[in-house]
Amino acid sequence: MSRGEVARSYGGVSAEERRADRRRRLLAAGRAAWADSGPTGVKVRGICALSGLTDRYFYEHFANRDALLLAVADDVRDQLLTAMVQAGLAAEGDAAVKLRAALQSFLDTAQADPQIMRIVTSDTAGIPGLAERRHDVLATIADLVVEHAPAVLAVDDHDPAQLRRAAMFVTGGVNQLIEAWLDGAITMSTADLAAECTRMCLAVIRNRG
């Protein structure tokens, strides 16, 4: 067996699979450390201890601690957005039913995972790049609103620029409501908050000026 073949497979597990597993372990350790101690409590040495990996493997995947924090934030974002999109697509009914299902799935996923709750409510002002990540998420959701809103509108002809402004308005508003709910300033069930956000969103989209 050649050296290349040994590198590709060890114990029936390929090198790429081992590399992916190490990254998953580092992300899981990053989530746990962030949830337990906040972003400032995430240290390379601690992550290596939690994951059972050496710093060599840490730096194989991440340039530094901040890069890991961004990857953890991306991982949490992807989990929430995936739950949201899948629920919306699976729901049978009109736009209101689909939007309500998507929002409730987003909220239920966050509520069911204490790590997510602590990560999304922590102070991340000191993490370079994270504010831009959050802005990009809101822009992506606004794009989805623009894409699917025409099916909700009562007329076929609409002003795309006006629709984009309405999408930005509802996306920012829903984000503020969700942040207030996460912080405990709003005390509602996930179902009630999803229904409230849906009602407000559709009211704006349907009467956008």
pLDDT tens-digit readout, 125-177: 778 888 788 788 888 888 877 777 776 665 566 778 888 888 889 889 998 99
What's the start-to-end Cα distance of the chain, in Å?
A: 71
Collapsed DSSP state (helix, strand, coil) of residue 153? coil
Residue 90 near residue 101 (C-beta atoms within 8 A): yes
Mark whether 122 and 152 lie in a shared domain: yes
Q: Yes or no: say if 189 and 162 are a contact pair by the CB < 8 Å rule.
A: no
- Can you give the pLDDT at residue 2? 45
- Which among 206, 177, 209, 208 is positioned nearest to 193, based on CA atoms? 177
Q: How many domains does the chain have?
A: 2
CA atoms within 13 A on the CB side of 98: 15
The boundaries of the domain holding residue 36 are 3-62
Average pLDDT per run of 10 along the chain, which is 209 residues long? 51 83 97 93 96 96 96 92 90 87 92 90 82 80 78 66 87 90 90 93 78
The CATH code of the domain that includes 188 is: 1.10.357
* Domain limit, last residue, from 45, 62, 79: 62
pLDDT at 204: 86
| pLDDT, position 5 | 46
At 1 the pLDDT is 43
107 and 47 share one domain: no
The domain spanning residue 39 has which CATH number? 1.10.10
